[in-house]
Amino acid sequence: MPVTVDELNGPDPLDAAFQSEKITAHYLVKKLKRELNAKETKTIKVKGAVGTDNLPRGFRVVACSGTMAEGKEGQAFGDGDTVIQYDVIAWGIRQKARESGMAHYQKPGPGDPNVLRISHELNEEDRNLIREGVEAFKTLIIKTHYDGISDSK
């Protein structure tokens, strides 16, 4: 009869907390995907008026103050301020998301002492051999203990 990890260690308190708050694996994966594509919005303020056609791709005018005037050759002039926003990659957030995601995908190595490996189910003969070994070990421990007591007297 195979033994599960929950039977050995008991229920995981973190799993119980996730279930009580209705946080599922699907929800966590969605949040992780958002973090892996995280962007940060930068805002700058410039003197004068800036037209949207003069901005590079990805930049946008948020606010413009003052008045705009057009010169003889079609150039725009302004006497106020312009607030411009643009997005940049949020490398810090993305790196933490990658580290968090990879922590769940790391496979234990062959020599990892924290992993219980069961290669097959035990039949009755194997169980009897283990029982005999345990009894022999107990006998050896008891004999060694009593021999040590009799030697010390």
Residue 136 pLDDT > 70 = yes
pLDDT at 60: 92
**In this structure, are residues 41 and 75 in contact, taking their beta carbons and an 8 Å threshold?**
no
- CA-based nearest residue to 90, from 40, 42, 41: 40
Give the model's pLDDT for residue 68.
72
Residue 61's identity, in one-letter code, is V
Question: How many domains would you assign to the chain?
Answer: 3
Q: Which segment of 1-5, 60-64, 92-96 scores lowest on mean pLDDT? A: 1-5
pLDDT reported for residue 90:
93
The arithmetic mean of pLDDT across residues 11-16, rounded, is 78
> Residues 40-48: what's their mean pLDDT?
91
**Is 15 exposed, middle or buried, given 0-12, 13-18 or 19+ CB atoms closer than 10 A?**
exposed
pTM given for the model: 0.48
When pLDDT is cut at 50, 70 and 90, the band that residue 50 belongs to is: confident
Q: Specify whether 30 is located in the same domain as 61.
A: no
Do 127 and 149 belong to one domain? Answer: yes
The amino acid at 37: N
Q: Per-residue pLDDT for 87 more than 90?
A: yes
- The number of helix segments (H) and strand segments (E) in the chain equals 5, 5
**Domain ranges, residue 73:** 39-89
pLDDT value for 111: 65
pLDDT at 88 over 90: yes
Q: How many residues does the chain have?
A: 153
pLDDT of residue 85: 95
- Residues 98 and 67 placed together within one structural domain of the fold: no
Q: Is residue 58 located within the same domain as residue 127? A: no
Comparing CA positions, the residue from 86, 88, 87, 93 lying closest to residue 36 is: 93
- Claim to verify: residue 73 and residue 58 sit in the same structural domain: yes
Q: How far is Cα 99 from Cα 79, in angstroms, rounded to an integer?
A: 48
